[in-house]
Amino acid sequence: MDKITHVFVELIPEVIPNRVLYISIKYSVAIHNCVCGCGNKVVTPLSPVAWQLNYDGESVSLSPSIGNWSFKCQSHYWIVNDAIEYSTKWSQARIDKGREEEIRRKDQYYKNKKQ
């Protein structure tokens, strides 16, 4: 199984090596290069309506999965306990449905925050 190394930082460096996940708690973001090797930078904002980070004292996990639907590679994977777990490729219809669900979830979250 492929592994990724995590590094907690305040500021994300300009140059990001492959297989390194930089995590800034201060700025609520985790960034890494796409694990397929395409060279694209993957930004995962950490929030109740985006990605959640789990740190068990040794390894990190991000949830939900990372679907790089805007990249040519359209890679799809999970980061679980510093391991990369490849997932299935989604159809365009599934990607569209996932995006709609994400918008609905965010709208509902922020609507409830205002109440």
Strand partners, 82: none
Contacts of 40 (CB under 8 A, 6+ apart): 33, 34, 68, 71, 73
| Per-residue model confidence as pLDDT tens digits over 8-45 | 999 999 999 999 999 999 999 999 999 999 999 999 99
Nearest 5°: CA angle at 3, between 86 and 55? Answer: 95
Tens digits of per-residue pLDDT, 55-106? 999 999 999 999 999 999 999 999 999 999 999 999 999 999 999 999 999 9
Domain borders along the chain are 2-89
pTM of the model: 0.92
- Residue pair 64/54 in contact by the 8 Å Cβ criterion: no
